Amino acid sequence: MLFPPRDDGVNLVANATLPNPSVMTIEIGTITMDLKSKDLTIGNATINNLTLRPGNHSTPLEGVVDMHTVTENLLPLLQAQRDSLRSGYLSLDAVTREVEYDGVMIPYYTEVMRDLVLSAKVPVNDLLINSVQGILQDNSSGLQSVLDDIRERSAAKGDIVSSIGIKHRR
């Protein structure tokens, strides 16, 4: 997560490991995906100019996590993520919304790719460390803004963690 987001709105930069069990190299194009926690879409991600080669390979993706949607749905999100959070990670799915090649939407690839949901287990520690590093490297008031937002939401909603039933394990 990037705090603050880049000028183009991107606040998510990651790598996706994509399997290709076939022996063929396939030029897919640009994939736009919805990022979901259960049934709630919390953002989008794009893989530009994807070429799938045989085997597993890592490819960069960029996207936008809609922080307004996340904060407005924080309690149901935490409830949906309860088991994953207990294990130290977030479970997110990326579902293809559209595949384009040279600027033209490719319905066949879109339909096929839509059925291939990419599931990710994002370690919470890594997410927090990378986010805090981004905030601290920025010379703006990003950290104070995030802390103020957390403080305001905590005051407005009460103790969210206890309301979803997550207990600290020692």
Residue 6 lies in a domain: no
The parent domain of residue 140 ranges over 12-164
Residue 107 lies in a domain: yes
Name which of 71, 69, 70 is nearest 149 in CA terms: 71
Q: Is residue 14 packed enough to be buried (19+ CB in 10 Å), middle (13-18) or exposed (0-12)?
A: middle
Residue 95 lies in a domain: yes
Residue 5, preceding peptide bond in cis (omega within 30° of 0):
no
pTM: 0.76
Residue 170 lies in a domain: no
Strands (E), 66-164: 89-101, 104-105, 118-123
- Predicted confidence (pLDDT) per residue in 93-144, tens digit: 999 999 999 999 999 999 999 998 999 998 888 777 776 666 666 655 555 6
Cα(35)–Cα(41) distance, integer angstroms: 6
